[in-house]
Amino acid sequence: MLITNKIETLTKHRSAAITISAAFAGSLLLALLAHLSIPVPFSPVPITGQTFGILFLGAMLGSRIGTLSVIMYISEGLMGLPVFAGGTMGFLYLLGPTGGYLLGFIPAVYLVGYLSEQGWINSFTSAFLTMTIGTSVIFIFGISWLAITAGLGTALSIGLYPYLPGAAVKIILATGIVYSINRFNK
């Protein structure tokens, strides 16, 4: 049985408090991973652990609870809690150069969660593809947002190309961990 099915079953048969608690735990994980932040000198976009967190939460919590986690995380930052990369917060941060990536977390976690619920983490290859699709969604939103102010060429050079090696590492890590957890829980 998939771990996501276990979580979905648990939340369907328990109170809303369990669902909210699981989502809140996910938002805390994202906040912690945002603080694993490395500034990139030529780009306003830092390297963070958040992408890994999105992939992991989608696969482990599923589409509903994973999405709720990300919405809670973004809401925490909008309310003034220092949960975004580098301990930043607020509405203006969401409007800044990294806002597209943050907004892209929502459809990415939903899609990874949905594919996970459909059994896409049952094989290493399909789990890898799921994580690649989720990461691509984040990049599409992030690059589109950057391109509005910087142009597409600049957005690609400061918001995509330098991050591809790190994204590959996060995809492989998330795939390995999620696939291993899923195999262990069968």
Least confident of 4-18, 123-137, 152-166: 4-18
Q: 73 falls in which pLDDT band (50, 70, 90)?
A: very high
Q: Is the dihedral of CA 177, 179, 180, 182 positive or negative?
A: positive
**Per-residue confidence (pLDDT) for residue 7, from 0 to 100:** 54
Say whether pLDDT at 4 is over 60. Answer: no
**Is 73 exposed, middle or buried, given 0-12, 13-18 or 19+ CB atoms closer than 10 A?**
buried
The model's pTM is: 0.90
Q: What is the CATH number of domain 3-184?
A: 1.10.1760.20
Mean per-residue pLDDT for 26-50?
Answer: 93
Res 80: pLDDT: 93
Residue 171: phi, psi to the nearest 5? -65, -45
Separation CA 168–CA 163 (nearest Å): 9
Q: How confident is the model at residue 13 (pLDDT cuts 50, 70, 90)?
A: low
Q: Rounded distance, CA 36 to CA 32, Å?
A: 7
Select the more confidently predicted residue: 44 or 72.
72
Percent of the residues in the chain that have a pLDDT greater than 70, as a whole number: 92
For residue 81, how far is the Cα from the chain centroid? 19
Contact, 176 vs 127, CB < 8 A?
Answer: no
pLDDT over 80 at 14, yes or no: no
1 pLDDT tier (thresholds 50, 70, 90): very low
